[in-house]
Chains A and B, each alone.
Chain A
Amino acid sequence: MTDTTEPFYLPIADEVAVFEAAYAARLPVLLKGPTGCGKTRFVEHMAWRLQGPAHALTTVACHEDLTATDLVGRYLLSGDETVWMDGPLTRAVRAGGICYLDEIVEARKDTTVIIHALTDHRRVLPVDKTAEMIEAHPDFLLVISYNPGYQSVLKDLKPSTRQRFVSIEFDYPNLEAEAAIVAREAGIDDDTAMRLARIGAKTRNLRDRGFEDGVSTRLLVYAGQLITQGIGPRRACEAALVQAISDDPDLQAAVADIVDVLFP
């Protein structure tokens, strides 16, 4: 991936310094936090920052049918022969760069095992199908994320996996920071951005009333982008926020009210 511009990220605390230190020591990093609070953007930003515009960032969104094979690679038919095809993780291990496994706990259990050897001092990826032990490139770094909020007890990270990572915790930014992010990302004026940020903060007050994560910064940016495209603010929030957070009609009504009273 080659970005010409640095991905925008507004640091909230010392996460940039911690990540830089972890990268310098090649320690794997675990990002914890609710959905849409900027974990993925943070990784993109750090990849750019640490490895420059020509950085190689591999992002894998994990889902519940993602197997080790999907990460490591498989044989494919090509002409008359089967050829080995590296998976995204293997490619990153060989070439160097940051490999980011998003929502790792969603993946099947066998995936967490293959990253064990990569995440301790050995830094190797065993590929049993090709009988290879791939030594990680010096610039390789594994980053995983997970959202402790909505994962069930069954889908928790095992301590043996969790303890291999440097953990950085994320949460939604404070009002001013969030307004700045929304203004910048959605290209809207500061006033509207502040209103959206306020909606975010108010609806997060209802977090334990039925939606685990509240309105994410990402959703606020979406709403802002809809507004930029000429949709009325209330309709934009209805589409981007109210419908997205919950199916409960009461909650939707409450959030719609909050939106309604905050916009002129």
Chain B
Amino acid sequence: MTLSLADVQVPLALFAEGIVGHPVMFEVLDDAEATWPWLPTDPARSVVTLPASLLVDDYRALVLHQLIALEDRAAGVEHERPLVPDHIDAALFAFVFATVEDARVDAVTRQRYPGAVRHLDTVLTAARRDLDSTGSAMLDGLHRYSLGDAAVEVSSAVREAVDAAARFDATAVDSHASAVALCELLQAGGPVAGDWNDELLHDVDDALALGDDGRGASLDPTATPTQVELSETAGGGQSAADMPPSGTTQGDNERDPIGGLQLPTFGGRGAGVDRRTFVYDEWDYRYSTHRRAWCRVIEEELDGDDHDFISDVRSRHMALRSQLRRTFAQLRPEDLVRVYRRIDGSELDIDGVIEAVVDRRTGAPADDRVHVRRDRAARDVATAFLVDLSASTSSPAVPPEPPEPLDPATIDPLDDPLSYAPMYPEPGERGEPERRVIDVAKDAVALMSDALHELGDLHAIYGFSGKGRDQVEFKIARDFDDRVSPRSWASIAAMKPLQYTRMGPAVRHATTKLSAQPARTRLLIVVSDGYPQDVDYGEDARDRDYGVHDTARALSDAADAGIDTFCITIDPAGHDYLRQMCAPDRYLVIDDVESLPEELARVYLRLSAR
């Protein structure tokens, strides 16, 4: 049975962060066959290298092994790169040092994390089993002994040298001394030069001379730990250069092309300033860290001129609207309510007191619930609806196959109850564009806004889109403090498909705006129609996971800020990524676009009644 890294990565990353105290990045070895101990950890990088799949439970031992160096660094113990003494063959030394150092780290692990010993032993047993021969009996013996094979035949000098370093209180300096001693021993014995595996030496030389493809060489399926160690060392950590360590210089360089994000400006609303910019961090799941000040959100009020919009919506959804009004009427807010006949409270309930006194005088058992308590029963809800305005929302809402055309001449009006209803021309017949996803979304939020206005619940309607991280567009169709007017409805009507779906920063900005609302219950309802994606959402634009993780992070941050979030997506295939982004009871996938207004209302009722 094998275990895939993808399945355990999240708890494993948390585990690693807990152990060393800062985020640790996992790098995946594409070679599933590589042998222990994989790559040595460069403490400066906070990177742990792991194969993509493994036997159960082995990951933790691998991670711990690599974390020891990180942990020592966090505690102020620096490991220096060993210098190779002149009289010792560099390739041999690298091999021996790596072997001894691994033995030392294992010893530290045994002492520091006794609970991991069992797994460590499993890993070491597997490593001994899969060991490639170096061609030198002495080296193989050393290698096996360092991997915990106590029964292997090695000279007492080798044993002593390894044992001297493989102590929990030893340091890399001890490993170095032991490695020097062992190399001198090996070279003095003479068998090394002629005897050992030419291929290995060749590879080692390659690795040492190499300046180009450091990682590629290290991932040679037959690679032994030595080669891996050397190529990593000699290649100068090329892989490290490829990826920015969390929040350091590399990130800063990458930010430069924008020419520095502008500082947020907070212009007054309606004071001649209708574009305001805000800067938000973005979550990079691969490094488990935030990219600081990564996205610029440009907030703009929408202005529309479609003044018939709301009456169209009302007539289109007459039944739903009246149903909503009825349902919402039952939710009418009441402020602090007095609850009578309570066992304690801030005031006496005079009626209760009189009854109790009368009961007592007449000898009946008295009810001592004679207080009035003022309890909160008020509706105190603020909701932000965040509508996806990506280009894809311009796709038709109705499934492509046209309904059977009705020929009035062939239908007996008495048989068809619909014929009594006023006949509206089909949209296509009026020469109007057919209804798109965005139109349904607009209907839905307009209906909600209409109903919430009557109910008195605070709400705002925002749209988002954008292209690139410095241009996330955040459109305000209706803000919390906007009054209802023909103009405010026209602003909702003015929402239209724009560009991409960079959801994370939009969620963060909506969260900021919601957080400023003093309501007890704050809801953020996201209505979207597909994957979060943008031209530069993640280093690889095709990497959908980046956007999903960033959005998930933004949503969970919103939850931490005391905001209930909910995602509704109009995307029959949306189930998969929403499951990664939201808790199971926090999302809904709609395949029938036209049911959105009804579903939205249902979601709102459920959330706001919590």
Contact = CB atoms under 8 A, between A and B. Distances in A.
Interface of A: 65, 67-70, 74-75, 77, 79-80, 82, 152-154, 202-203, 205-206, 209-210, 234, 249-251, 253-255, 257-264
B11 A209 contact: no
18 contacts: A74-B344, A77-B366, A80-B360, A82-B353, A205-B17, A205-B21, A210-B556, A210-B560, A234-B115, A250-B10, A251-B11, A254-B12, A255-B14, A257-B11, A257-B15, A261-B113, A262-B113, A264-B117
A170 B440 CA distance: 54
B370 A67 contact: no
Contacts of A80: 357, 360-361
A250 B11 contact: yes
Name, among B346, B515, B556, the residue most crowded by chain A CB atoms within 10 Å (CB to CB): B346
A205 B288 CA distance: 14
A261 to B, nearest CB: 4
A263 B115 contact: yes
Contacts of B19: 202, 205, 258
A209 B370 contact: no
Q: Is the interface of B mostly helix, strand, loop or mixed?
A: helix
Nearest to B347: A69
Contacts of A205: 17-22
B518 interface: yes
Interface residues of B, number: 39
Given A77-B353, A261-B64, A206 B17 contact: yes
B14 A254 contact: yes
Interface string B342-363: 0011101000010011001100
A75 B562 CA distance: 38
Interface in B45-78: 60, 64
Contact of B115 (A82, A153, A206, A260): A260
B18 A206 contact: yes
A6 B451 CA distance: 62
A261 B346 contact: no
A261 B17 contact: no
A253 B13 CA distance: 11
A261 B115 contact: yes
Given A69-B344, A260-B116, 16 more contacts: A69-B345, A80-B361, A154-B518, A154-B520, A205-B18, A205-B22, A251-B11, A253-B14, A254-B12, A257-B11, A261-B60, A261-B113, A261-B114, A261-B115, A262-B114, A263-B115
A251 B10 CA distance: 8
Contact of A264 (B11, B115, B356): B115
Nearest to B344: A74
B368 interface: yes
A254 B348 CA distance: 53
Given A67-B346, A261-B60, A263-B114, A206 B14 contact: yes
